[in-house]
């Protein structure tokens, strides 16, 4: 198998199975199959598990670029769309569980929550912002949007920040787990910032640019003057 | 059915016959659940854990109680971890005998009392109370206990005793959650003396006819049914009468979110979520959300305690 075939027939199906696994586990829990259980409050459990799974896929999506660059695996890009779509999928299920099972389709409560509860306002915004990204994830839309596609999809940074904030803010007291997500997101965003600075430095001093700029953080000697 | 939450009225009390049948049915369910959920080698000693008590229908709601697995499997007891499942998983390390309670402060009778001594000769009663968590979920629980006022009277509080402060055991070796800084340990709660002496305020030693499971606050806990659950402190080792309002655990942790009074109030939202409705644990699919009642449905009995107080300010 060449690399394209390996991705198409092996890696992508594996990622798909991994993406469906949390849902399958939750369904087993809801039906009490294979010893899985959602505990005494299955609604909250489902709600939280879907939310966290969405967040996990969001961070995985953001990890693709650093990993492919640092590990020298450019082909990993082929998996990114699926990871992003799983993030969207679980965010939609998370919202659906909240609206249908938790609020029991009480739209008055939904409206009040979105307007009055900052953590829900934030989470809902993140979900709305994910929608255009999911809709423009096809090859056709990528072609049609051209350069604008990338600008649009930079929204993912904002979405990830909103999602992590949403998690942090709804916790009653024990913020250790949300803080872990804050830390991971900070690392992923810091990588972008450093890369962006390195690229800017390279553009400013093209002759001096070494072959591998990424890992050699530009020191003060090569840093461009602020203009 | 669950969306209709009745006030307690004599006409609404479950007929004794129905109640008795429910009880025998539940007794079987409890016994099998207990044997199924306990790890091998820790089988419950049923003869020791069974309590003798009488039912008190006057103070019981007619709503169906939650199953024992729900009451003992879904707990906020941060001493054993912050997940709802952690207490049921880890609280078996708690040793509830020997157990003593220290009495301090503005009372004539002070000192250290063995739990057996405090319970000796006390008539236990079962009361089916609503339990409303500040997190907007709720249960209905058949507690076994006795009025706190009976216990407090024994210590002869002085006229300076305006408040009662309760403290939970501090034992990080057996309460691993106390290694974390989530709250200031030990957990402290408190009541105004008139709240403490109110007939609804219960000292609890059991539920469903048996001694309390550890995760529900064994061997001695408070239940104040018209307040959010965090006021009902668990595994009590100290009672202190004081002139000043005690500094309570959640109030210290987040004063803008958790007040000293913490009366259930659908009109006063938590800063981050609504308190207008609640979800009843274990209720049928899509029928769990119901309106929250002022004072958790006990307004007729307790609203007068707060006459003239601004309940938004004293939340």
More confident residue, A26 or B23: A26
Kindly state whether A225 is in contact with chain B, defined as any CB-CB distance less than 8 angstroms: no
ipTM of the complex: 0.78
Inter-chain CB proximity A173 and B183 less than 8 Å: yes
CB-based burial, A130-163: b 16+ in 10 Å, e otherwise: beebbebbeeeeeeeeeeeeeeebeebeebbbbb
Cα B27 off chain centre by: 21
Inter-chain CB proximity B70 and A40 less than 8 Å: yes
**Across A107-115, average pLDDT:** 91
Segment among A8-12, A106-110, A207-211 with least mean pLDDT: A207-211
Residue B211 backbone phi and psi in degrees, to 5: -60, 150
Residue A166 backbone phi and psi in degrees, to 5: -55, -45
Closest partner residue to B272 (CB to CB) among A44, A100, A169 is A169
- Give B70→chain A minimum CA distance, Å: 5
Segment among A27-31, A34-38, B10-14, B125-129 with least mean pLDDT: B10-14
Cα B12 to Cα A46: distance, rounded to the nearest angstrom: 36
Q: Residue B234: left (phi > 0), alpha (psi -120 to 50), or beta?
A: beta
Residue bearing tokens 């009541």: B191
pLDDT band at B200 (very low <50, low <70, confident <90, very high): very high
Kindly state whether A108 is in contact with chain B, defined as any CB-CB distance less than 8 angstroms: no
- Which residues 109-128 of A have a C-beta within 8 angstroms of B? 109, 112-113, 116-119
Residue B221 backbone phi and psi in degrees, to 5: -140, 165
Cα B9 off chain centre by: 22
3-state secondary structure of A16: helix
Kindly state whether A174 is in contact with chain B, defined as any CB-CB distance less than 8 angstroms: yes
Of A127, A103, A104, nearest in space to A113 by CA: A103
**Across B52-62, average pLDDT:** 96
Residue-level pLDDT at A210: 54
| Res A112 pLDDT > 60 | yes
For B313, half-sphere exposure in the C-beta direction (CA atoms, 13 angstrom radius) is: 4
Q: What is the pLDDT of residues B120-155, one digit of tens each?
A: 999 999 999 999 999 999 999 999 999 999 999 999
| Res B256 pLDDT > 60 | yes
Inter-chain CB proximity B135 and A172 less than 8 Å: yes
- Give B76→chain A minimum CA distance, Å: 11
pLDDT band at A105 (very low <50, low <70, confident <90, very high): very high
- For B71, which residue in chain A has the nearest alpha carbon? A40
Cα B9 to Cα B220: distance, rounded to the nearest angstrom: 29
Contacts of A15 (CB under 8 A, 6+ apart): A79, A82, A83
- Give A63→chain B minimum CA distance, Å: 28
Kindly state whether A35 is in contact with chain B, defined as any CB-CB distance less than 8 angstroms: no
Q: Are A162 and A181 contacting, i.e. CB atoms less than 8 angstroms apart? A: no
The answer to the question of residue A207 being in a domain is no
Q: What is the dihedral of CA A189, A194, A199, A204, to 10 degrees?
A: 130
Q: What is the mean pLDDT of chain A?
A: 89
Instruction: Select the residue from B2, B274, B290 to test the A interface by mutation, using most A Cβ atoms within 10 A.
Output: B274
Q: Are B311 and B265 contacting, i.e. CB atoms less than 8 angstroms apart? A: yes
Segment among A200-214, B208-222, B259-273 with least mean pLDDT: A200-214
Kindly state whether A32 is in contact with chain B, defined as any CB-CB distance less than 8 angstroms: no
Residue-level pLDDT at A130: 97
- Give B117→chain A minimum CA distance, Å: 36
Parent domain of A117: 3-194
Domain count, chain A: 1
Residue contacts between A and B (CB atoms, under 8 Å):
58
**Across B8-31, average pLDDT:** 43
In angstroms, the Cα distances linking B49 to A35, B210, B211, B213, B303 are: 29, 5, 5, 10, 36
| Res B209 pLDDT > 60 | yes
Inter-chain CB proximity B73 and A40 less than 8 Å: yes
Cβ burial, residue B197 (10 Å; 0-12/13-18/19+) = middle
Contacts of B64 (CB under 8 A, 6+ apart): B140
Six token digits for residue B245: 């309002």
The answer to the question of residue A201 being in a domain is no
Inter-chain CB proximity B274 and A39 less than 8 Å: no
The answer to the question of residue A205 being in a domain is no
Inter-chain CB proximity B183 and A101 less than 8 Å: no
Q: What is the pLDDT of residues B288-297, one digit of tens each?
A: 999 999 999 9
Q: Are B134 and B262 contacting, i.e. CB atoms less than 8 angstroms apart? A: yes
- For A97, which residue in chain B has the nearest alpha carbon? B286
- For A121, which residue in chain B has the nearest alpha carbon? B272
Q: Are B72 and B213 contacting, i.e. CB atoms less than 8 angstroms apart? A: yes
User: Taking CB atoms and an 8 Å cutoff, what residues of chain B touch A167?
Assistant: none
Kindly state whether A40 is in contact with chain B, defined as any CB-CB distance less than 8 angstroms: yes
Contacts of A92 (CB under 8 A, 6+ apart): A127
Q: State in words which class domain B51-306 has.
A: alpha beta
Segment among A39-43, A139-143, B35-39, B69-73 with least mean pLDDT: B35-39
- For B184, which residue in chain A has the nearest alpha carbon? A173
User: Taking CB atoms and an 8 Å cutoff, what residues of chain A touch B180?
Assistant: 174, 176
Closest partner residue to A41 (CB to CB) among B74, B180, B253 is B74
More confident residue, B181 or B263: B263
The answer to the question of residue A103 being in a domain is yes
- Whether the CA torsion B209, B92, B174, A38 is positive or negative: it is negative
Residue-level pLDDT at A43: 92
- For B284, which residue in chain A has the nearest alpha carbon? A101
Among chain B, residues having any CB pair with chain A shorter than 8 Å are 69-70, 73-74, 78, 82, 84-85, 135, 137, 180, 182-183, 253-254, 269, 272-274, 276-277, 279, 281-282, 286-289
Residue bearing tokens 């048996």: B210
Residue-level pLDDT at B44: 46
Kindly state whether A176 is in contact with chain B, defined as any CB-CB distance less than 8 angstroms: yes
Cα B200 off chain centre by: 11
More confident residue, A170 or B208: B208
Kindly state whether A106 is in contact with chain B, defined as any CB-CB distance less than 8 angstroms: yes
Kindly state whether A173 is in contact with chain B, defined as any CB-CB distance less than 8 angstroms: yes
Contacts of B170 (CB under 8 A, 6+ apart): B178, B185, B186, B237
């Amino acid at each position: 198998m060449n690399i394209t075939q390996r991705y198409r027939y092996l890696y992508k199906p594996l990622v798909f199975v991994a993406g469906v696994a949390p849902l399958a586990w939750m369904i087993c829990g809801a039906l009490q199959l294979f010893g899985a259980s959602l505990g005494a409050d299955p609604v909250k459990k489902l709600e939280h598990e879907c939310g966290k799974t969405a967040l996990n896929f969001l961070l995985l999506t953001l990890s693709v670029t650093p990993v492919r660059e640092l590990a020298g695996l450019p082909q990993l890009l082929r998996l990114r769309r699926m990871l992003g779509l799983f993030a969207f999928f679980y965010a939609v299920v998370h919202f659906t569980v909240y609206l249908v099972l938790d609020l029991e389709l009480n739209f008055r409560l939904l409206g009040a929550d979105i307007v009055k509860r900052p953590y829900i306002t934030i989470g809902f915004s993140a979900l709305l912002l994910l929608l255009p990204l999911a809709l423009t994830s096809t090859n056709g839309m990528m072609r049609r949007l051209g350069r604008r596609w990338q600008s649009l999809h930079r929204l993912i940074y904002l979405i990830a920040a909103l999602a992590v904030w949403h998690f942090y803010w709804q916790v009653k007291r024990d913020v250790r787990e949300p803080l872990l997500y804050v830390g991971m997101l900070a690392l992923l965003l810091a990588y972008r910032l450093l890369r962006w600075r390195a690229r800017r430095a390279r553009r400013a001093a093209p002759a001096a640019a070494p072959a591998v700029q990424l890992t050699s953080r530009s020191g003060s000697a090569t840093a461009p003057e602020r203009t | 059915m669950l969306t209709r939450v009745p006030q307690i009225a004599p006409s609404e009390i479950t007929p004794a016959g129905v109640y008795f049948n429910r009880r025998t049915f539940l007794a079987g369910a409890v016994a099998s659940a207990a044997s199924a959920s306990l790890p091998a080698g820790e089988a419950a000693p049923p003869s020791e854990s069974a309590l003798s008590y009488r039912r008190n229908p006057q103070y019981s709601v007619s709503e169906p109680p939650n199953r024992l697995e729900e009451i003992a499997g879904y707990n906020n007891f941060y001493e054993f971890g912050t997940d709802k499942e952690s207490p049921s998983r880890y609280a078996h390390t708690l040793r509830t005998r020997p157990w003593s309670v220290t009495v301090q402060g503005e009372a004539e009778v002070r000192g250290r009392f063995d739990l057996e001594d405090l319970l000796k000769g006390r008539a236990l009663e079962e009361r089916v109370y609503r339990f409303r968590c500040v997190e907007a979920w709720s249960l209905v629980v058949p507690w076994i206990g006795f009025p706190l006022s009976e216990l407090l009277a024994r210590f002869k509080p002085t006229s300076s005793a305006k408040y009662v402060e309760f403290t939970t055991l501090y034992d990080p070796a057996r309460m691993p959650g106390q290694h974390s800084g989530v709250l200031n340990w030990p957990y402290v709660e408190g009541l105004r003396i008139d709240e403490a002496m109110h007939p609804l305020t219960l000292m609890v030693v059991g539920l469903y006819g048996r001694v309390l499971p550890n995760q529900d606050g064994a061997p001695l806990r408070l239940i104040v049914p018209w307040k959010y659950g965090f006021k009902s402190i668990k595994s009590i080792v100290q009672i202190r009468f004081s002139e000043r309002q005690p500094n309570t655990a959640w109030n210290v942790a987040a004063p803008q979110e958790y007040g000293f009074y913490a009366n259930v109030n659908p009109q006063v939202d938590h800063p981050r979520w609504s308190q207008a409705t609640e979800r009843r644990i274990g209720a049928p699919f899509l029928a769990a959300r119901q309106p929250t009642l002022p004072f958790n449905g006990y307004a007729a009995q307790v609203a007068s305690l707060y006459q003239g107080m601004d309940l938004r300010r004293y939340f």
